Amino acid sequence: MENNREQWSSKASFILAAAGSAVGLGNIWKFPYIAGENGGAAFLFIYLICIVLIGLPILNIEILLGRTTKKNPVGAFKTLTNNPFWKYVGALGVLASFTILSFYSVVGGWSLAYTYEALVGTFNTPAFANPSTAGDFFNLRNSSPLWVLGYHTLFLSIVVFILLSGVRAGLEKASKFLMPILLFILMILVVQGLILPDANKGVSFLFQPDWSKINGQTFLLALGHAFFTLSLGMGAMMTYGSYLSDKDDIVNASYLVAFLDTVIAILAGVAIFTVVFSSGYDPTAGPGLVFHVLPPLLSNLVGGYIFAFLFFLLLSIAAVTSGISILEVSVAYLVDERKMSRKKAVLMMAGLVYLGSYSMCIVIQCSF
């Protein structure tokens, strides 16, 4: 085991960083629209089963593998077995994290862009009169390479800046600073949602099951989302676990991470659906729910300027704290296995992600 590896300063820091990884676009952008399209509470129920029966045990195992070996996913398997097969399983994790960040950073860029648009008051212009015009605005902006790549570059630069500072001064400090802000903003948005007229319709949409929408596909979707939201299967939790001290117990920590992640997804759903229902709109608007439907609805509320800004700031913070954990997987791999300096590893991986994102931009534009 390596002794000079950086470590979290406390178990609480690890929990915050791991929760920061788990709570991301998956909770605020993806969960509400897939729940909306797949039976509301019925989906939530299946998703919770997946989290408890499959997600939690795997989360424990990933963190344990990291903490025991003090290595990145490839190094962890190499340490544990001589069978080369497992090394490739670890390598798949590194590859997956790289691929995920290529699309994640594009959506992270959109979030930053909309935080800026909210701040300068664009949501109060006729372009945001209703979800349909707002959708046109989004598509128009999204067809401009300069806009997409500019904000994408900004997003990746923030991630790079944090990672260059290392585990304690970068990952830990950023999570300790950003996660409380995220929770605070979310509470404001939930409270303002709950006091809207017809807020109860939004809440019962999330908590009253529509079983007619459930089929085999729903189970797969819920399971896939459980993996994605807990940052499982690509070594992020293993890498974060590798910075844990041996004396820190991991079972409680992973319960807490899964609990925070689930509660935040549900609260984001409450914040979003109360607004959607109180404005009489369709909760099944798909991926466009957050970028097409919400901006005009939020800005139409009393105090809407500030709520719209807070919402996109929340989304951006969630994206950044997850983005750093995704890139850290491949950085840890290069530092541990290829003996690269942290600086070189971060810049090289960010450069590769940047190139990968060009093609992702085209794919996302086509499917949105």
What does the binding site for ligand PFF look like in residue numbers (CB under 6 A)? 21-22, 24-27, 97, 100, 228-229, 231, 234, 236, 322, 325-326
With respect to ligand PFF, which residue has the nearer C-beta, 199 or 270? Answer: 270
- For ligand PFF, the closer CB: 18 or 134: 18
Q: Which is nearer to ligand PFF, 275 or 315 (CB)?
A: 315
The least distance separating ligand PFF from the CB of residue 323, rounded to whole angstroms, comes to: 8
For residue 335, give the nearest of 321, 325, 324, 348 by alpha carbon: 348
Q: Which residue type sits at 2?
A: E
Asked if 254 contacts 61 with a C-beta cutoff of 8 angstroms, the reply is: no
What would the DSSP string read from start to end of 112-135? HHHHHHHHTTGGGSGGGSSHHHHH
Beta carbon of residue 310, minimum distance to ligand PFF (angstroms, whole number): 19
List C-alpha distances in Å: 354 to 101, 161, 349, 359: 9, 15, 8, 10
Task: Please give the single-letter amino acid code of residue 344.
Answer: K
Q: What is the dihedral of CA 279, 283, 287, 288, to 10 degrees?
A: -30
**Least separation in angstroms between CB 37 and ligand PFF:** 17
Task: Please name the residue that has the structure tokens 């690509």.
Answer: 234
Q: How large is the greatest C-alpha to C-alpha distance in the chain, in angstroms?
A: 63
Q: Which is nearer to ligand PFF, 28 or 199 (CB)?
A: 28
The distance of closest approach from Cβ of residue 125 to ligand PFF in the complex, given in angstroms and rounded to an integer, is 30
Report, in this order, helix, strand and coil percent for the chain, each rounded to 5.
Answer: 80, 0, 20
Which pair of structure tokens corresponds to residue 303? 């105090």
**27 versus 192: smaller Cβ distance to ligand PFF:** 27
CB of 273 to ligand PFF, least distance (A): 18
Supply the minimum distance, in Å, between the C-beta of residue 65 and ligand PFF.
14
Nearer to ligand PFF, 44 or 134 (CB): 44
